Structure 1
């Protein structure tokens, strides 16, 4: 069974999507539609902009979404998912791929999500840090003992977690984690505490937009970051998507459940190859591929 997986923030690169634009009329139409919906020329920034320009919040998330969803579209009959999942932002791409969401509706939600997250980041100094070489329960216990808000935010693969919270609390947790034997506890260059309680203002803002968006019954299950299990009910999909902003990304658990349910090939759709690497670290026996036109 084929599991198609979609990357999140951080996978962007200058020139992304240009090959799709140059080889597919359908891709050209979708990029033009995206420029129109967003009110600025995102395709030009993707194809010709610098790495710095691609880091702007209002650009990064839509750019990764567009690269992933347009690639899945132009694959045509070669795109036959038995199940899908996306890492954080990638969940929106997955929901277009399995036809739970229309392309236009999802792009508008992604744009609103990016702005809502940026607004939440400005409320309080906050950040994230990568932690390597400790078991999940050890990281969780140390975060719980630290003064202030700091939580496990991304369960990427065994021995690789990301923590998120108030800057001072994340710094204190990093020191405690190193003392506990972490191989690394490294602050990340991000704008805020994604997937933590500090994203509550963004969750509330996005919830209203999601509630007013139509979701269809998908053509195959999505394994969502919040629940980690196969979901096909549109109302449950919406609920999980709303809580995703303040809840951890349970990628390890999602991949493990996809394997339990029969996945034997994971195909990454979109920029980069991070998810292929994570799948291999979760279960070395799994076949991984990069989606191509």
Structure 2
């Protein structure tokens, strides 16, 4: 077995997330109890309100605390991956798993990131939409044609047949119409609070660049595959530069999954609310077995299965 951890991104959060894990796993509980934030993270995760949980300023630290808690439990069980990656925000959880950031630093860093991303587009109507069953070139052309109405860019290449576009609301709507005319099966608006991974996030990238000057990035203990590359970092790349680039450029998750398969990964643990990443894996590399972990029951089942595979 060659194992990878994949960490969920923003959009999969929901009220109640992590409650049963908190009640059943001391290692998970310790991470949430120590989260360095200026709001009641546990109450927001467990009880809401949903509107606040969906605000990127709060979503990001909640999601990373959840992921770090599950990672702590898996580590305690002796389960560590050969590779790790995450979708967008999940990349910070992957870096925590790899030893680059300790849990408090990762949580406080994404709290800063969330605020910077929210401030980058205050008062600007924006949107994101998932476009189904249209190839990259055709969708890029649709975005180019719609750009007269504002910024609209392809931002998430999730899996074959699913690409997310983001930007100014009018331009996103127009690009969606053009995508349908070009043969897209569906265009689904996403419930998010900003045009993530577009050039509109450049102010957030600038803020992160300055913030990173005071962050202690440790040596990587586990290889991380990076969003903006779709692979491991290369010679000359630095983690701060890649994270600055990530917030304002496309996420290549499909390429990342293909790269994991090329590296021999045959098993993935998806860490975070929901099962979206497992779906992306199945559509991209069917041979990879997935264990989504959101609940205490799922975590217990994944640990038992992974230990059983290791023994065979």
For normalisation by structure 2, the TM-score amounts to 0.89
Tell me the CA shift for residue 235 of structure 1. Answer: 6.0
Structure-2 residue corresponding to 1:109: 109
Structure-2 residue corresponding to 1:246: 248
Structure-1 residue corresponding to 2:144: 144
Cα deviations by residue, 1:232-261 (Å, 9 ceiling, x for unpaired): 889622211111111011100111111111
Aligned length: 291
* Cα RMSD after superposing both structures: 1.7
Structure-2 residue corresponding to 1:23: 24
1:179 to 1:110, Cα distance in 2 relative to 1, 3 A: same
Comparing 117-126 and 154-163, the one that deviates more: 117-126
Cα deviations by residue, 1:97-156 (Å, 9 ceiling, x for unpaired): 111111111111100111111111215322111101111111112212221321100001
- 1:262 is aligned, of 256, 264, 268, to 264
Structure-1 residue corresponding to 2:204: 202
Tell me the CA shift for residue 39 of structure 1. Answer: 1.9
Contact 2:65 2:103 in 1 (8 A): no
Cα deviations by residue, 1:16-61 (Å, 9 ceiling, x for unpaired): 1122221233333221211xx2122111211222433321332211
Structure-1 residue corresponding to 2:73: 74
1:227 match: secondary structure: coil
Gaps of 5+ in 2: 294-298, 301-312
For normalisation by structure 1, the TM-score amounts to 0.94
In 1, the alpha carbon distance for the partners of 2:93 and 2:290 equals 19
1:38 match: secondary structure: coil
Tell me the CA shift for residue 95 of structure 1. Answer: 0.6
In 2, the alpha carbon distance for the partners of 1:149 and 1:117 equals 16
In 1, the alpha carbon distance for the partners of 2:50 and 2:58 equals 11
1:128 match: secondary structure: strand
- The answer on 1:83 being equivalent to 2:87 is no
Q: Where do residues 16-55 of structure 1 align in structure 2 (5 Å cutoff)?
A: 16-34=17-35, 37-55=36-54
Cα deviations by residue, 1:166-190 (Å, 9 ceiling, x for unpaired): 1111111111111111111232232
In 2, the alpha carbon distance for the partners of 1:289 and 1:127 equals 31
In 1, the alpha carbon distance for the partners of 2:73 and 2:266 equals 24
Structure-2 residue corresponding to 1:289: 291
Comparing 58-67 and 196-205, the one that deviates more: 58-67
In 2, the alpha carbon distance for the partners of 1:96 and 1:248 equals 22
Structure-2 residue corresponding to 1:4: 5
Provide runs of 4+ in structure 1 moved above 4 Å: 232-235
1:28 match: secondary structure: helix
